[in-house]
């Protein structure tokens, strides 16, 4: 599990990309702290991208007041173990910023000895 966030409040004139990776994750579940996430204007935004293709965004530009309809209320699921968080702010003031929780889902395969043991026990 990872928490990715801006400074609170964020600074003006920021253009930052952060790669978020969770080793061995099959997929990532992303949730925004919508009770806190806020930006001053449309000029200040967060946008998520797949790591493999930054031309294909996972989200629109996210901005606006806390509890606003522009911040995703439902979790976002992404296949793979990485994503890019892009944050941009202009010079016209600042807001609280953003906080994103990223949870990796890992496929756990049973241990071979346990599979063998289970099969042998079933014959008893």
Q: What is the pTM of this model?
A: 0.84
pLDDT tens, position by position, for the chain (124 residues)? 999 999 999 999 999 999 999 999 999 999 999 999 999 999 999 999 997 767 779 999 999 999 878 999 999 999 999 999 999 999 988 999 999 999 999 887 767 777 777 777 776 6
- pLDDT value for 51: 79
**DSSP code of residue 69:** T
**What CATH number is associated with residue 59?**
2.60.120.290
| Domain span at 22 | 2-122
Cβ neighbors of 49 (< 8 A, separation 6 or more) are: 56, 57, 58, 83, 84, 86
Q: What is the count of structural domains for the chain?
A: 1
CA distance 64 to 40: 7
Strand partners, 4: 100
């Amino acid at each position: 599990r990872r928490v990715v966030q801006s400074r609170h409040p964020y600074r003006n004139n920021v253009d930052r990309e952060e790669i978020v990776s969770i080793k061995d994750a099959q997929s990532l579940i992303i949730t925004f702290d919508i009770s806190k996430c806020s930006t001053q204007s449309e000029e200040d935004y967060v946008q998520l991208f797949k790591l493999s293709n930054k031309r294909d965004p996972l989200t629109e530009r996210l901005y606006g007041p806390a509890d606003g309809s522009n911040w995703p209320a439902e979790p976002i699921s992404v296949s793979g173990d990485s994503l890019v968080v892009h944050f941009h702010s202009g010079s016209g003031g600042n807001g609280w910023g953003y906080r994103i929780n990223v949870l990796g889902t890992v496929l756990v395969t049973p241990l071979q000895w346990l599979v063998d043991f289970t099969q042998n026990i079933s014959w008893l």
